[in-house]
Structure 1
Amino acid sequence: MDITFIRHGHAEHLLNYPSELNRLHPGLTAQGKEQITALCKLIQVKPDDTIVVSPAKRTLETVELLTSSARGRVMISPLVGPRMFPQDSSYTPLGCDQIYSRAEIRRLYPDRQIIDVGVNDWEESINQMHARRFTLLAESLLAWCRKQKGHIFMVSHDGTITNYRMLLGEQGLTRNDFLGEAGYCTIRNV
């Protein structure tokens, strides 16, 4: 399986940094939308591809822009929601990293599928989850991804993407390895 990680574009909680970090459900800014539109020239989503997306407004808006012409299967999963990197359970999660609830997703994105691989309760955020539990759940999601047809795209957040990249064997990653706004990387044969 080949997997391409995509980081969402510039979002509203970064407009007045750091005072807006507790903003609930920030969407993409005009700049962020332009970044994703430019990314569409580099990333081609085909109908047989699968996109796994974080249940956050900015990532869902990113997917809407990425799939405006070609529709891959879009699956929403809390297992690719925001996760701190490096992980530190003493940090309090920020408001901008709160995901939509299952009920909000059903109301706002009724045409999108939800994937619940390993997660019984969406209230169990991966943001402060112990590393062993996260690894177990992330491995379950990756096993599910390996069974899908086409290319896998994971649209998420810098910390989450970095945690998955490490899980897939990349070593020595730091915050300097974050993809940044509308950044992407592909890992082959995972």
Structure 2
Amino acid sequence: MDITFIRHGHGEHLVDYPNQLNCLHPGLTELGKSQVIGLRKQVIVAPEDVILVSPTQRTIETALLLAQNTNLMFSPLVGPRMFPQNPEFVPLVCDQIYSKEELSHKYPGIKVVELGLDCWEESINQMDACRFKILAEHLLEWCRQQSGNAFIISHDGTITSYRMLLGEIGLTRSDFLGEAGQYTMRNV
């Protein structure tokens, strides 16, 4: 199985950086939408593939532009995550995820992947590395059990955390994908 990580396009919270980072549920800007539309030429999703989406507005909009509701599934396990982790950092309002109730109301046809874990109340954003590793490994095992490849539409810190969990060494913020960036790990 291959996993392709995709970062959301340019978000509204970045328009007047850093002054908009406390904007709740920012979506994509017009630039962000055009970045994602350009990405559609490079990202081919087969019918058996799954697309896991962070429950934030900008990642959901990215997913809908890429796959138009095909095989989309929400998971808080791919929500925003600070990188590098520092317990003294305060979570940004722009990184608050939607609740299950908000998602089911706004996007009634899209499934939620929970894996029987209570991970909605406990955000992965500031979760310690050991707890994150346990939950992330559950999600990766679930991905391996699916019939196709996995696409994870998420955020810089989350993507980098998963890449390190999957064996990449020495990653830093300079390895972030950038807006509408993609990165595929083969035979995970």
By the TM > 0.5 criterion, same fold? Answer: yes
Contact 1:48 1:72 (8 Å CA) reproduced: no
Contact 2:76 2:119 (8 Å CA) reproduced: no
Aligned to 1:35: 35
Aligned to 1:4: 4
Aligned to 1:49: 49
The 5-angstrom pairing of residues 6-85 of structure 1 reads: 6-68=6-68, 72-85=70-83
Task: After TM superposition, give the deviation of residue 67 of structure 1 in Å.
Answer: 0.9
Task: Give the secondary-structure state (helix, strand or coil) at the position aligned to 2:94.
Answer: helix
Q: Distance in 1 between matches of 2:99 and 2:11?
A: 20
Contact 1:40 1:66 (8 Å CA) reproduced: yes
The two structures, once aligned, show a CA RMSD in angstroms of 0.9
Structure 1 unaligned segments of length 5 or more: list them: none
Task: After TM superposition, give the deviation of residue 121 of structure 1 in Å.
Answer: 4.5
Contact 2:78 2:158 (8 Å CA) reproduced: yes
Aligned to 1:174: 172
Instruction: Give the aligned length.
Output: 188
Q: Distance in 2 between matches of 1:53 and 1:60?
A: 6
Q: Scaled by the length of structure 1, what TM-score is found?
A: 0.97
Task: Give the secondary-structure state (helix, strand or coil) at the position aligned to 1:5.
Answer: strand
Aligned to 2:149: 151
Letter matched to residue 32 of structure 2: G
Aligned to 1:106: 104
Contact 2:75 2:113 (8 Å CA) reproduced: yes
Structure 2 unaligned segments of length 5 or more: list them: none
Judging changes above 3 Å, is the alpha-carbon distance between structure 1 residues 120 and 28 closer, same or farther for their aligned structure 2 residues? same
The 5-angstrom pairing of residues 75-154 of structure 1 reads: 75-117=73-115, 119-154=117-152
Comparing 137-146 with 118-127, which one deviates more in the overlay? Answer: 118-127
Residues 16-37 of structure 1, C-alpha deviations (whole Å, 9 max, x = no match): 0000001000000000000000
Q: Scaled by the length of structure 2, what TM-score is found?
A: 0.98
